[in-house]
C-alpha cells in the first residue's frame, strides 16, 4: 500500500468514526487506524534510514558535525527566529541549516502569499506556521501554572478525534460453583460527541519589540502567545456552553449544586451539600476547586470565640475538606465551586495544533500575529458537581 493509499484509508476510517454509534465499531475502527499508523511509521523510519545512508555517501566527513549542530538547536530560539524573519527579514534571524532541519517537521508554511499595499488594500504577508510541539507544551505549561483546573484535565492531541466512549454501567463479576458456566459480563457504553471550539486571538508586536535581541525575543514571544490564548481556553474549559465556537465546559449540564444567598457565608454547609450530590462511584480521585472568595472564607473562618479555625500564620492552610483535596482557581467566578475527578470525567482533545499567522499592514505600520487552534471537549454526564449562588 502506497503512502497516498494509507492516507486515503485513514481519511475513510475517520469519516466512519464520526458516524459510529457503538463501542464495538469504534474499537474496530481505532484498531484499523492503529495498524495504518504503524505501517506509516514503518515507511517513515525506512525513509529516514535511506536519507541517512545517502548523506553518508555524499559527505561522510561533515555528517558528524551536522549531527552535532542539529543536537545543539534550541527549538524555542529557532521558532522565534523563524517568526522574526517572516516579518522583518533580519539577517540575524535567518535560520542556519541545523535549525531548518530541526523545524522542518514542526513548521509548515500554509501560505506565502503577498499582497502589495494600495490606497484601499492593506499589505498582507501571511506566513502561517504551526507552532512546534515543544513550544506548544511550554505554552500549555504556563496555563497549568495559571489554573489547577486546567492542569488536572487530561488533554489529548489526536487529530480528528471528536467522539469519546465511556462506560455507563456493567453487570460485574458473579460467584459460580465449580464447573458451572461463567456468564458473560454485560457493559453498557455511551458515546460523547463533544463540541469543537475554534480558539483564535491576535497580538500586535511593535517595531521596537521586533528589534529585540533574539535571546530576549524568544521568551517574550512564548509568553505573549500563551497570554493571548490562556483566558480563552481556560474560561471555556470551565464555562463553555458548546455554542458559538466554544467547547462544552466542565459546568455544562453538571450536577446542580446551587445554594441560596442566605447560606452564602456558610461555606461548610455549602460544600457538604455539594459533596453529597456527587455519586459515590464518581468520588475516587475527586477534588474540590474553589473560587477565591470561598477559599479565603474557609481559610480565615473563625469559631464562636473569634479564633481562627485554621492556623493562618505559618500553617499549612486549607488543603482538604473531608477527604477531598482542595485548590483555589482564580478562573472560577466569585461564589463558584466544582467537585469531581476532572482527569477522568472531563474529555478534551486538541484537534488542530496551535498555529501562528502574520498580517502586515504597511499603511498602518502594524504587524499582527494571530493564533488559532481547534479543541473538542465535553464532560461525562452526572460526574461533576457545579455549585454557585442562586441569584
For residue 148, the domain's CATH number is: 3.30.2320.10
Q: CB of 384 within 8 A of CB of 256? A: no
- Tell me what pLDDT residue 279 has: 95
| 116: in domain | no
Domain membership of residue 176 (yes or no) is: no
- pLDDT tens sequence across 84-111: 887 778 888 888 888 877 776 444 443 3
**At a CB cut-off of 8 Å and minimum separation 6, what does 387 contact?**
257, 258, 259, 270, 271, 273, 274, 336, 337, 338, 339
Residue where a domain stops, chosen among 18, 40, 58: 58
Residues 47 and 154 in one domain: no
Q: Which of 157, 161, 156, 155 is nearest to 13 (CA)?
A: 161
Residue-wise pLDDT tens digits, 243-277:
877 888 999 989 999 999 888 888 899 999 999 99
Domain boundary among 25, 41, 58: 58
Give the number of domains in the chain: 2
Give me 357's grid cell: 499567522
Same domain, 350 and 231: yes
pTM for the model: 0.65
In this structure, is residue 87 part of a structural domain? no
Does a structural domain hold residue 248? yes
Q: Are residues 257 and 358 in the same domain?
A: yes
Task: Specify the DSSP class assigned to residue 92.
Answer: G
Distance CA 382, CA 360 (A): 48
> What mean pLDDT is reported for the chain?
76
CA dist 13 and 34 (Å) reads 11
Q: How confident is the model at residue 161 (pLDDT cuts 50, 70, 90)?
A: low
- Does residue 14 lie in a domain region? yes
The whole-angstrom separation of Cα 140 and Cα 154 is: 12
pLDDT of 349 strictly over 90: no
| Backbone dihedral region for residue 374 (phi beyond 0: left; psi -120 to 50: alpha; all else: beta) | beta
For residues 23 and 148, state if they share a domain.
no
17 lies in the same domain as 146: no
Residue 170 in domain: no
- pLDDT recorded at residue 351: 80
Domain of 49, in residue numbers? 1-58
Beta bridge partners of 213: none
Give the end of a domain, one of 38, 58, 78: 58
Strand, helix or coil for residue 363: coil
Domain-located, residue 100: no
pLDDT for 78 beyond 80: yes
Domain contains 81: no
DSSP H or E segment with residue 175: none
Amino acid at each position: 500500500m502506497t503512502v497516498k493509499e494509507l492516507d486515503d484509508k485513514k481519511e475513510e476510517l475517520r469519516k466512519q468514526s464520526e458516524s459510529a454509534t457503538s463501542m464495538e465499531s469504534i474499537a474496530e475502527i481505532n484498531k484499523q487506524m492503529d495498524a495504518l499508523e504503524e505501517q506509516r511509521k514503518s515507511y517513515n523510519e525506512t525513509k529516514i534510514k535511506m536519507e541517512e545512508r545517502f548523506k553518508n555517501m555524499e559527505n561522510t566527513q561533515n555528517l558528524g558535525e551536522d549531527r552535532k549542530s542539529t543536537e545543539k538547536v534550541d527549538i524555542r530560539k529557532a521558532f522565534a527566529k523563524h517568526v522574526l524573519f517572516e516579518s522583518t527579514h533580519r539577517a540575524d534571524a535567518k535560520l542556519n541549516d541545523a535549525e531548518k532541519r530541526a523545524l522542518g517537521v514542526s513548521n509548515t508554511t500554509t501560505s506565502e502569499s503577498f499582497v502589495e499595499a494600495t490606497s484601499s488594500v492593506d499589505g498582507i504577508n501571511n506566513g502561517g506556521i504551526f507552532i512546534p510541539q515543544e513550544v506548544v507544551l511550554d505554552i500549555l505549561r504556563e496555563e497549568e501554572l495559571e489554573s489547577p483546573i486546567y492542569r488536572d484535565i487530561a488533554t489529548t492531541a489526536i487529530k480528528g478525534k471528536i467522539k469519546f466512549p465511556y462506560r455507563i454501567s456493567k453487570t460485574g463479576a458473579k460467584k459460580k460453583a465449580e464447573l458451572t458456566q461463567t456468564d458473560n459480563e454485560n457493559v453498557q457504553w455511551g458515546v460523547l460527541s463533544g463540541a469543537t471550539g475554534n480558539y483564535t486571538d491576535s497580538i500586535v508586536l511593535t517595531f521596537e519589540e521586533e528589534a529585540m535581541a533574539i535571546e530576549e525575543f524568544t521568551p517574550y514571544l512564548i509568553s505573549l502567545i500563551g497570554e493571548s490564548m490562556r483566558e480563552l481556553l481556560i474560561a471555556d474549559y470551565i464555562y463553555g456552553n458548546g455554542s458559538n465556537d466554544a467547547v462544552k465546559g466542565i459546568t455544562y449540564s453538571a450536577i446542580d449544586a446551587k445554594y441560596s444567598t442566605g447560606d452564602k457565608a456558610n461555606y461548610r454547609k455549602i460544600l457538604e451539600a455539594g459533596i453529597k450530590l456527587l455519586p459515590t462511584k464518581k468520588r475516587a480521585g475527586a477534588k474540590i476547586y474553589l473560587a477565591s472568595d470561598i477559599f479565603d472564607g474557609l481559610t480565615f473562618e473563625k469559631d464562636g470565640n473569634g479564633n481562627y479555625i485554621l492556623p493562618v500564620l505559618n500553617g499549612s492552610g486549607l488543603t482538604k475538606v473531608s477527604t477531598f483535596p482542595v485548590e483555589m482557581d482564580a478562573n472560577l467566578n466569585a461564589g463558584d465551586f466544582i467537585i469531581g475527578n476532572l482527569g477522568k470525567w472531563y474529555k478534551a482533545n486538541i484537534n488542530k495544533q496551535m498555529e501562528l499567522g502574520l498580517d502586515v499592514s504597511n499603511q498602518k505600520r502594524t504587524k499582527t500575529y494571530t493564533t488559532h487552534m481547534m479543541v473538542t471537549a465535553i464532560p461525562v454526564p452526572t460526574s461533576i458537581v457545579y455549585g454557585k449562588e442562586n441569584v
